[in-house]
Amino acid sequence: MPRNKFILLLSAVFAAAAGTVFIGSFLAESISAPWVGMLIGPLMLLAYVAVRVVRARLEADQTDT
């Protein structure tokens, strides 16, 4: 994966996580959710994206050899 595409993907992931936190904070204010509930969504999103990136890189390494 070229560096500029990786940076674009990484910035999109950070923007999605920031949007999730922003929307989650408004929802938490309206329903008084616990802090743990607010953290689970963005953390799960980041974990999912990290797993997808690692899998894609491992598959790319296996096809190159």
Q: Give the integer Cα–Cα distance in Å for 43 and 49.
A: 10
Predicted pLDDT of residue 26: 82
Are 16 and 44 within 8 A, CB to CB? no
> Mind listing the pLDDT tens digit of every residue in the chain (65 residues)?
688 888 888 899 999 999 988 888 887 777 766 777 777 878 888 899 999 999 988 888 777 66
Predicted pLDDT of residue 32: 67
| Collapsed DSSP state (helix, strand, coil) of residue 43 | helix
Question: Which among 8, 7, 19, 6 is positioned nearest to 45, based on CA atoms?
Answer: 19
Predicted pLDDT of residue 33: 60
Q: Say what the pTM is.
A: 0.44
Kindly write down the DSSP assignment for every residue of 13-33, as one continuous string: HHHHHHHHHHHHHHHHHHHT-
